[in-house]
Amino acid sequence: MPTAVTVAECLRQAQTHGLARVDAQILLLHSLQRPLHDRAWLLTHDVDTLTPVQTATWQDALQRRLGGKPVAYITGRKDFFGLTLAVDARVLDPRPDTETLVEWALACLPESKPESSPASSPSNGSPHILDLGTGSGAVALALQHARPDTKVWAVDASEDALAVARANAARLHLGVQFMASDWLCAVDVLRTGRFDLIVSNPPYVAEGDPHLAALTHEPLSALTSGADGLEDIRRIIAQAPAYLAPGGWLLLEHGWDQAAAVQSLLQAAGFAQVQSRQDLAGIQRCTGGCWHSEG
Ligand code: GLN
């Protein structure tokens, strides 16, 4: 075993390999078994030395990251909208971009009412929300956590993904109801009632998109959607009106260049107030509309 390495030496090693500083910091915290958000701790402990076990964990994590594995799959955890989710290769690695979808969804919901006020909404005062293609459960769990007064359902076509999402819900004590469904096909509106809000971060990368070369560790079924990347978005827009309450919103995340196309699809389907929202990088990342008629 070579002489003990310090925190600063590990970070320098990662830098010489061209690894992003934030990735190196998170992987090092993981190797040291510290909370992943505690990057400030590294700054004040840069001369601390790693034990042989920590060093081995770090070298292994570094090699896997350099091989393209997402940081979240190496650590098994990802912070999303203030929640720490367990994630692995069965689900898409939740992106900070998707927090845009959650923020917009929260803004679409009616204000929460005090317990005692009379129920006035068609859904008995508690807004009904549906998350399509939930993956790790990130969006559904963030919404249920931020708005405990809502009823949240979440579907995925993948039983593997549902297992990850259900485990996250149980660990976080959030009462989201999960169902296996190919988009809305298996959702029984007589049982759930119509939804005040339907959200989705569907697959939207075009088959053959060069970006896929960098995404080989994630499930392809969570990433690609036909020749133009819009096949699943078209299906969701076609199915959603029959499940939306009058005045309910459909909000969709999509690719960096798809906002205009998704706006056209929503308008053609009869949605009103069609508009888009930017992500943290200033890219039009989500598009949605309001369903006014009885559908
Ligand atoms: N945002 C991801 C990417 O482009 C794709 C996620 C998705 O298809 N929903 O890397």
100-111: per-residue pLDDT in tens?
Answer: 999 999 999 988
Percent of the chain with pLDDT over 70: 95
Task: Map 265-290 to HEC letters.
Answer: HHHHCCCEEEEEEECCCCCEEEEEEE
Q: What pTM was computed for the model?
A: 0.92
Query: Does 201 sit in the ligand 1 pocket, CB within 6 Å?
Result: yes
Separation of CA 205 and ligand 1 centre (Å): 7
Separation of CA 82 and ligand 1 centre (Å): 20
The set of residues, in sequence order, having a beta carbon less than 8 Å from that of 152 and lying 6+ positions away, is 129, 130, 131, 140, 143, 144, 175, 176, 177
Separation of CA 110 and ligand 1 centre (Å): 29
For 214-227, what is the mean pLDDT? 95
Query: Does 151 sit in the ligand 1 pocket, CB within 6 Å?
Result: no
Identify the pLDDT of residue 111.
82
For 76-93, what is the mean pLDDT? 96
224-253: per-residue pLDDT in tens?
Answer: 999 999 999 999 999 999 999 999 999 999
Q: Can you say whether residue 191 is alpha, beta or left, with left for phi > 0 and alpha for psi between -120 and 50 degrees?
A: alpha
Nearest to 106 by CA among 10, 249, 231, 226: 249
Mean pLDDT of the chain: 94
242-291: per-residue pLDDT in tens?
Answer: 999 999 999 999 999 999 999 999 999 999 999 999 998 999 999 999 99
Separation of CA 94 and ligand 1 centre (Å): 9
Atom of ligand 1 nearest to the CA of 255: 4
pLDDT band at 1 (very low <50, low <70, confident <90, very high): low
Identify the pLDDT of residue 116.
52
Atom of ligand 1 nearest to the CA of 224: 8
**In the predicted structure, residue 93 carries a pLDDT above the cut 70:** yes
pLDDT band at 120 (very low <50, low <70, confident <90, very high): very low
21-54: per-residue pLDDT in tens?
Answer: 999 999 999 999 999 889 999 999 999 999 999 9
Paired tokens of 162: 């549902």
If one residue of 92, 102, 256, 284 were mutated to test the ligand 1 pocket, choosing by the most ligand atoms within 8 A of its CB, it would be 92
**In the predicted structure, residue 8 carries a pLDDT above the cut 60:** yes
Query: Does 203 sit in the ligand 1 pocket, CB within 6 Å?
Result: yes
pLDDT band at 114 (very low <50, low <70, confident <90, very high): low
Domains of the chain: 7-67 (no CATH), 86-290 (3.40.50.150)
For 116-145, what is the mean pLDDT? 83
For 182-194, what is the mean pLDDT? 97
**In the predicted structure, residue 121 carries a pLDDT above the cut 60:** no
pLDDT band at 11 (very low <50, low <70, confident <90, very high): very high
Angle between helix 52-66 and helix 7-16 axes, rounded to 10 deg: 20
